[in-house]
Amino acid sequence: MPRRLRLSILLAGLVLCSTWSTPATLAADAKPATAAEAAKVLDLGKFPLLAGAEEPRQRHVAGLSYAAKGDVKAAFEFQRKQFTDKKWQELPNGYVTDQFANGTFSKDGFKVSVSVMPGAMPGMVDVTMINHGNVDLDKLSTPDDAKPLFAGPVSKMLVTEAAPDKTAEAVRKLLLAQGWQPYGQAGDQYWFKQNSMKLSAHIASAPGQGGKTVIDLQSVLMSADLPAPPEADKLQYSDVPAQLSFDSAQPMEKVIAFYKSTLEKSGWKATTENPVKIGFRDIVIFRNPAKDLLELEMHTVDGNTRVLLKHQTAAEVAALDQRLDEEQKRKAAEKDQPSLKVAVTIPAGATGVEIAKQAIEFKLPSGKARAAVETLRKQFAKDGWKEDTPVVEDMAGSIGFKKGEATLSLTYVDPGFIPAEVSLSAIGIELERAAEKK
């Protein structure tokens, strides 16, 4: 998880910890939401951007992050207005300064944290919005002896006398009983999933609490509901891109059977009866009525099945198809156009001249290469070529040239005791020998 995102989640909980109370709009017995249910309340993939915003780093139903021109206070006020206009309630204890702004908004049981901080460049800000979903952390079962440390809208901390390992096992059993499924582990961080909600439980000894064990619970919405079989090992989920990876001791046939059975319940269907072999990977494609796409990719590693499940929305698939179509049309148009030709003046005294469409090579007397290269540099500059990272020495050198999409590469070697060698290679153009002046 990016550092700024981790900081945003932490601060969202800390600045709203002790005096926050559950809003009246929270559905008392709401089940953890699906991405589709969350999108009906708010789709961050369609949330308005600040004027002058750059291309978002993340723009999905569950999260939005981007850089834009502006100052922190004005940028946060823009977000606040968008939420209040949509009848979202701003929860108490927001924090707004010239250097950082943070707030949490709630509607129909869903919570969204918003943070704004100075960007990497002067006059820029970074905006991060996280949908924490509709999980009521107070309704999660926890060990009987665990005492509240603090609670906020998107995080809750408890402390217990029990050892971390025993606490982790107790928390796991309680959450499984509430319908949560294990969804990966990294050290003392445990993740659980239910529908499109991901719950994290950080369980560790806290020196600041006299060595007692602290349970830190937080929830976030996932942009895609990507199920995993119970035996999944080394499981990792990412929201950008939306994908799930893990290892399974089960053979590919059983992994495929699990996904066909599980995904069918949500309207997904495999597009082929059997997996398609591409390189060393076996691939199965699933589509749903909304035209979203799931790609199940598998191969064998150390006797286990390594799995990568990738999700693309219908809009993302359509955008990719459009880019591919435009690229094909561009290449077809270039193919139909006559090739651009560049006439290269071969220096007087050159020997062993070899000329191909995209390469020219020749030799010169020892000590003559650099002067010849300087003449070629002047010719290319006059013709509108821009140099790229030139390295020019008496004994050797290389220079790149660029003009539009075309590139030229000029290299030479002139050690001083054998004939010098000069070569030109081109991409996107054809080379030819310039007519000799009479």
Question: Is 164 among the domain residues?
Answer: no
Q: What is the pTM for the complete model shown? A: 0.70
Alpha-carbon distance 366 to 377, whole Å?
20
Give the domain-ending residue among 337, 355, 385.
337
* Same domain assignment for residues 122 and 7: yes
In the predicted model, residues of the chain with pLDDT beneath 70 are 1-29, 334-339, 437-438
**String of DSSP letters for 171-227:** HHHHHHHTT-EEEEEETTEEEEEETTEEEEEEEEE-GGGTT-EEEEEEEEE-SS---
Contact 125, 51 (CB under 8 A): no
Domain count, the chain: 3
Give the domain-ending residue among 303, 318, 337.
337
Range of the domain at 365: 341-433
Question: Is 400 among the domain residues?
Answer: yes
Task: Give the CA count within 13 Å in the CB-facing half-sphere of 377.
Answer: 17
The enclosing domain of 304 has a CATH number of: 3.30.160
Contact 298, 255 (CB under 8 A): yes
* Same domain assignment for residues 24 and 125: yes
Give the domain-ending residue among 85, 108, 131.
131
Report pLDDT for 328: 81
Task: Give the CA count within 13 Å in the CB-facing half-sphere of 66.
Answer: 22
Angle at 113 between CA 109 and CA 114, to 5 degrees: 140
Report pLDDT for 150: 87
* Same domain assignment for residues 81 and 112: yes
> What percentage of residues in the chain have a pLDDT greater than 70?
91
* Same domain assignment for residues 260 and 345: no
Alpha-carbon distance 219 to 156, whole Å?
10
Question: Is 80 among the domain residues?
Answer: yes
Report pLDDT for 322: 87
* Same domain assignment for residues 127 and 243: no
* Same domain assignment for residues 33 and 91: yes
* Residue 107, amino acid: K
